[in-house]
Amino acid sequence: MNPSPNLFLVGPTGAGKTSIGQRLAAHYGLPFVDLDVEIEARCGMTIAELFAAEGEAAFRARECAQLEESSLRQGIVLATGAGAVLDPANREALMSRGTVLMLGVDVDEQLDRLQHDTARPMIAGGDRRGRLESLAEHRNHLYEDIADLIFRGRRESVDEAVPRAIALLDRHWKRT
């Protein structure tokens, strides 16, 4: 376990990184940082607009730069984008600068949670199930490889999940 004042949340789209992260930050009295929101604020456009205007490679470069900057802060809860773990430098920064909590969720639950979501470019278009399964196949091992702790969803509300996440963190997160 990496003793750190920082808590970094990783996991697939729809796992609850933002929803749970905001509540964890409030519980622990820490600032909450959403990496995608930071990128959007800096660029003046949404992630979907960035993907459309510049492509995924340019977005990933922006994501790396923002993660580098944000992860240097002390005493934060940071929700990463689902694809932030694709870059080895991002994985190293997350592992070395904070405690990494993976929020795990299965594809069926992702489909339920994201059924009305039209803002995420990586799952846009047809065959959403196939896209989510492909993303899981390529990314889940990366989340698990860098995670200090793994929190699995149980088809429950955020109100039900947060106390379980807090209990897990209270048992294992060594804040310095």
Instruction: List binding-site positions for ATP.
Output: 14-19, 120
CA dist., res. 65 & res. 53, Å (int): 18
SS3 assignment, position 32: strand
Name the binding residues for substrate.
36, 60, 139
DSSP symbol at 5: S
Residue numbers belonging to the annotated binding site = 14-19, 36, 60, 120, 139
- Tokens (6 digits) for 81: 């984008």
Residue (of 107, 106, 105, 89) closest to 146 by Cα position? 89
Per the CB < 8 A criterion, the answer to whether 66 and 47 are in contact is: no
Binding site for Mg(2+), residues?
18
CA dihedral 59, 60, 62, 65 (to 10 degrees): 170
The dihedral sign for the CA sequence 102, 108, 111, 112: negative
Cα–Cα distance, 39 to 71 (Å, whole number): 14
